[in-house]
Structure 1
Amino acid sequence: MDHFSALKQAIAAIAPLSAEEWNAFSEALTTRRFPKGEYLCREGQVEHYIYFLGKGATRHYFQREGREFTVDFHFEGEFVTAYYSFLTRKPSPVSATAIEDTEAILIPHQQLHEFYDRHHMGERIGRRIAEYQYIRRLEREMALLSLTAEERYAALVMRNPALVQQISVKHLSSYLGIQPESLSRIRKQFGKP
């Protein structure tokens, strides 16, 4: 399935669009490749896009006192953005970077809001994307407070087993809130040396 078909299917799951609405929505979309290590958005920049990942994976993180703190990973078929910045038009408190070669469809902020204004279903799409972002954030917070590191690792593996095995120990242990040595022990339990 090509990336636009995958996006159309993901949008249809949120709010079914007529052919006319899909054409209006998709007319301003572009695709872009992000080589591993390239930023989708840097901390301190204003986010101008929502990205739909057709291929690859990204990592959201922020830096404090010389340390990086990983807050999320996104995989193929998911929507990605520095959402706080996208909504507020203020500089992003996080960076989003490709952790492997990534291909994404870019949904521009201005065109998305114009679509909201012109089409009733547009508002529903915007609301559902906001709900999705809220739910992901709440699930992450609850997992950090209530699940063990092993349970958080298992949940991430369920989202994308192959890619999780390729994420660096440094980034993965930061995301799980544990030391790299503890991650090595957990990975052994899951069968990765």
Structure 2
Amino acid sequence: MKRKNPEQHITTAIHAPLLAAIRSLIPLSEAEEAIVCQLFKEKHYKKGSFFLAENEICRQAAFVISGFMRYYINDDGEEKTYSFAKPYNFACNYESFVPQKPSAQIIQALEDCVLLTISYDDLLLLYEQVRYGDRLGRLVIEQVFIQTLKDRNSFYTDSPESRYEKFVNEHKDLLQQISQYHIASFVGIKPQSLSRIRKRLAGN
């Protein structure tokens, strides 16, 4: 099938936050905005579904429009949540996406999500067709990869209380939306232990 001429592609409202995020990193001409809108496809994920399942190859990167997802690993049957992807953030497992190798990490929708996704092959097209596309890819990969490493390292080095305080500081907007089970998983403790930490902090 012949690819559409980007000049003929109409920029839709759903792409506006993505374009704003990209423009904060690189300049875009109108023609390049049209290319971005053509290559990033709208996809919907139901609550509980997987953007990336365990041992799958991560074949797409995403920009979250609405909803949120969690990153976690399966450690001998125990789920360990180490990060979240919120609206207007990029989401991807770049350790799998860049080399196109199976992923040990899992990315799951915690509520219904609307995403703008780009495949690995289309990202290579973006690098070719957008003037600073390769710079954009590098900056986004650095942002997501470095944050993911920080979150995973924190899981093994910070105390549960410190991790809970970090969650409250960085994800206050999610406090009422995420279950106690998933917050406890992020903190690295059982839900009943999380209740004790919350009571202790509330008493200070």
Query: Deviations for 1:88-133, whole angstroms, at most 9, x for unmatched residues?
Result: 1011111111001111111221111111123331011101011102
Partner of 2:3: none
Identity across aligned pairs (percent)? 31
Is this contact kept in 2: 1:57–1:99, CA < 8 A?
Answer: yes
Partner of 1:54: 65
Is this contact kept in 1: 2:81–2:186, CA < 8 A?
Answer: yes
Q: Which runs of 5+ in 1 are unaligned?
A: none
Query: Deviations for 1:56-92, whole angstroms, at most 9, x for unmatched residues?
Result: 1101112132221212111111111122111110111
User: So what's the TM-score if we normalise by structure 1?
Assistant: 0.88
User: For the residues of structure 2 that align with 1:6 and 1:55, how far apart are their CA atoms?
Assistant: 11
Is this contact kept in 2: 1:30–1:106, CA < 8 A?
Answer: yes
Is this contact kept in 2: 1:25–1:112, CA < 8 A?
Answer: no
Offset of 1:141 from its aligned partner?
Answer: 4.5
Structure of higher CA gyration radius: 2
2:167 to 151, 156, 160: 156
1:89 to 76, 95, 100: 100
User: For the residues of structure 2 that align with 1:159 and 1:51, how far apart are their CA atoms?
Assistant: 21
Secondary structure in 1 aligned to 2:95? helix
1:15 pairs with 2:23: no
Query: Deviations for 1:119-160, whole angstroms, at most 9, x for unmatched residues?
Result: 331011101011102320343245346644333223322333
User: For the residues of structure 2 that align with 1:111 and 1:77, how far apart are their CA atoms?
Assistant: 20
Q: How does 1:37-52 map to 2 (within 5 A)?
A: 37-52=48-63
Query: Deviations for 1:158-187, whole angstroms, at most 9, x for unmatched residues?
Result: 333232333222222222122322211233
Superposition RMSD on alpha carbons, in Å? 2.2
User: So what's the TM-score if we normalise by structure 2?
Assistant: 0.83
User: For the residues of structure 2 that align with 1:44 and 1:123, how far apart are their CA atoms?
Assistant: 27
Secondary structure in 1 aligned to 2:132? helix
